[in-house]
């Protein structure tokens, strides 16, 4: 009996999300044969609604059906969520809450956000500073301020509005994501920089303790700790020094945009969110960019590279991931000012040329 197909669920979402996800389709089409011959399984693709698009159609940012599809998939490729049309909704009904609930329900606690100097992409930093940047940010994704309870806004007795968010971490949450970072460093240049705010926050002090303990299991990896404020300036001044950056949820959100600024193109950054088991969630680091939506101008490089990460981490096809990454690099390097759709088509051509040569 033939092996069951791999299942990929596409969640286009809002703004430029549908365009960048559509740009992956030509690659999927070109790839289907290679995919099957290398992994022994067909790739089955489904699409479902999330975010504002799901609110408009189903009244909720994460419909039951979407969650069911996602949970039974092998990988999920998400475009982006959010936009001005839904900005006035209460926090738990906004597009973003669909994504956050999905991350949480899938248990994808480790968010891998690689950032490297890209061919054809100019960094705003001086070339001697920006060249050779190759960082893997490992962001804790299912804890911290994003999920802590209680959380609310209210009017105090003195009539002033007040708000409360809660930051909590337990050692299990810290240990498991730290292990992901150390294991990744072993495959790279053997350095982990853990970023926290241990001079102020209790959560950060626990973070530092636990990460230091985990380092004992990885004695071949060098660990150092940096405070988030000084890490930020150091990243801008010496980005090439960093190998693996390990940090909690909110700091990771901020630092990953900073990395986008450093390499000069946040649209080209990809991410993989992985849990202990179950499907991985793959998404570009960029947001829904409402101002660019519907104009065929957004770069789909981040979405394409996110699919490359899916090939590596979800489908066990590192060679396809490599071809696809090289294909995206080649198109970035051509710097032809391609629109979203044309970019995807061109990547599919490059991908096919590479994988086809390799197979025959």
Query: Comparing C-alpha atoms, which of 242, 250, 156, 235 is closest to residue 203?
Result: 250
> Please, what is the minimum distance in Å from the beta carbon of residue 82 to ligand IPM?
6
Q: Looking at beta carbons only, is 13 or 344 nearer to Mg ion?
A: 13
Judge whether 229 counts as a catalytic residue: yes
Active site residue: 229, 291, 333, 335, which one? Answer: 229
> Please, what is the minimum distance in Å from the beta carbon of residue 250 to Mg ion?
10
Distance CA 219, CA 186 (A): 10
> Please, what is the minimum distance in Å from the beta carbon of residue 37 to Mg ion?
37
> Please, what is the minimum distance in Å from the beta carbon of residue 271 to Mg ion?
9
**Helix intervals (H) in the chain:** 17-22, 25-39, 51-58, 64-71, 95-106, 127-130, 171-186, 202-215, 228-237, 249-263, 301-313, 318-334, 340-359
Give residues in contact with Mg ion (CB under 5 A): 253
Give residues in contact with ligand IPM (CB under 6 A): 81-82, 96, 99-100, 253, 285, 287
Active site residue: 14, 109, 169, 197, which one? Answer: 197
CB burial readout 207-244, b (16+ within 10 A) else e? bbebbeebbeebeebebebbebeebbeebeeebeebbb
> Please, what is the minimum distance in Å from the beta carbon of residue 288 to Mg ion?
11
Query: Can you read off the two tokens belonging to residue 24?
Result: 């992956």
Q: Looking at beta carbons only, is 196 or 253 nearer to ligand IPM?
A: 253
**Helix intervals (H) in 120-167:** 127-130
What is the chain's Cα-based Rg?
Answer: 20
Judge whether 149 counts as a catalytic residue: no
Query: Can you read off the two tokens belonging to residue 229?
Result: 């404020």
Q: Which residues pair with 201 in a beta bridge?
A: none
Active site residue: 257, 296, 319, 345, which one? Answer: 257
> Please, what is the minimum distance in Å from the beta carbon of residue 303 to Mg ion?
15
Q: Looking at beta carbons only, is 100 or 195 nearer to ligand IPM?
A: 100
Q: Which residues pair with 152 in a beta bridge?
A: 164
Task: State the pairing for strand pair 191-196/270-274.
Answer: unpaired
DSSP type of residue 296: T
Please provide the distance, in angstroms rounded to a whole number, between the alpha carbons at the two ends of the chain: 27
Judge whether 253 counts as a catalytic residue: yes
Q: Looking at beta carbons only, is 218 or 313 nearer to ligand IPM?
A: 313
Q: Looking at beta carbons only, is 41 or 103 nearer to Mg ion?
A: 103
Q: Looking at beta carbons only, is 173 or 253 nearer to ligand IPM?
A: 253
Active site residue: 146, 169, 218, 313, which one? Answer: 146
Distance CA 281, CA 102 (A): 9
Distance CA 263, CA 256 (A): 11
Q: Looking at beta carbons only, is 267 or 287 nearer to ligand IPM?
A: 287
Closest-CB residue for ligand IPM? 96
User: What are the distances in angstroms from CA 249 to CA 42, 76, 142, 231?
Assistant: 35, 20, 7, 16
> Please, what is the minimum distance in Å from the beta carbon of residue 163 to Mg ion?
21
Residues 321, 305 contacting (CB under 8 angstroms):
no
Query: Can you read off the two tokens belonging to residue 293?
Result: 């939506």
Q: Which does 96 bind (CB under 5 to 8 A by kind): ligand IPM, Mg ion, none?
A: ligand IPM
Distance CA 140, CA 248 (A): 5
Active site residues: 146, 197, 229, 253, 257
């Amino acid at each position: 009996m033939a092996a069951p197909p791999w299942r990929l669920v596409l969640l286009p979402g809002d703004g430029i999300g549908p365009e960048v996800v559509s740009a992956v389709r030509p690659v999927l089409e070109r790839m289907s044969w290679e995919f099957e011959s290398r992994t022994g399984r067909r790739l089955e693709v489904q699409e479902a609604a999330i975010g504002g698009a799901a609110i408009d159609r189903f009244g909720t940012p994460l419909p039951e059906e979407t969650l069911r599809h996602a949970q039974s998939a092998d990988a999920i490729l998400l475009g982006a969520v959010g936009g001005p049309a839904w900005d006035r909704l209460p926090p738990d009904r906004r597009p973003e809450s669909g994504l956050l609930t999905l991350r949480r329900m899938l248990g994808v606690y480790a968010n891998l956000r690689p950032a490297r100097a890209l061919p054809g992409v100019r960094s705003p930093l001086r070339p001697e500073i920006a060249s050779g940047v190759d960082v893997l940010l490992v962001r804790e994704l299912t804890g911290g301020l994003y999920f802590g309870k209680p959380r609310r806004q209210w009017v105090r007795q003195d009539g002033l509005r007040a708000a409360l968010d809660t930051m909590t971490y337990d050692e299990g949450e810290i240990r498991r994501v730290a292990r992901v970072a150390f294991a990744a460093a072993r495959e790279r240049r053997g350095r982990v920089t853990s970023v926290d705010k241990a001079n102020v926050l209790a959560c950060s002090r626990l973070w530092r303790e636990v990460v230091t303990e985990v380092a004992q299991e990885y004695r071949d990896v060098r660990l150092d700790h940096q405070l988030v404020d000084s890490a930020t300036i150091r990243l801008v001044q010496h980005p090439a020094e960093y190998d693996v950056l390990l940090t909690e949820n909110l700091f990771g959100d901020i630092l990953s945009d900073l990395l986008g600024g450093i390499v000069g193109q946040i649209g080209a950054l990809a991410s993989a969110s992985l849990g202990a088991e179950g499907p991985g969630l793959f998404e570009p680091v960029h947001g829904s960019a409402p101002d660019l939506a519907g104009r065929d101008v957004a770069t789909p490089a981040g979405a394409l590279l996110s699919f490359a990460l899916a090939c590596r981490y979800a489908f066990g096809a590192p060679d396809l991931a490599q071809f696809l990454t090289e294909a995206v690099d080649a198109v970035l390097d051509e710097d032809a000012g391609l629109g979203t759709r044309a970019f995807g088509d061109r990547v599919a051509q490059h991908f096919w040329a590479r994988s086809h040569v390799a197979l025959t």
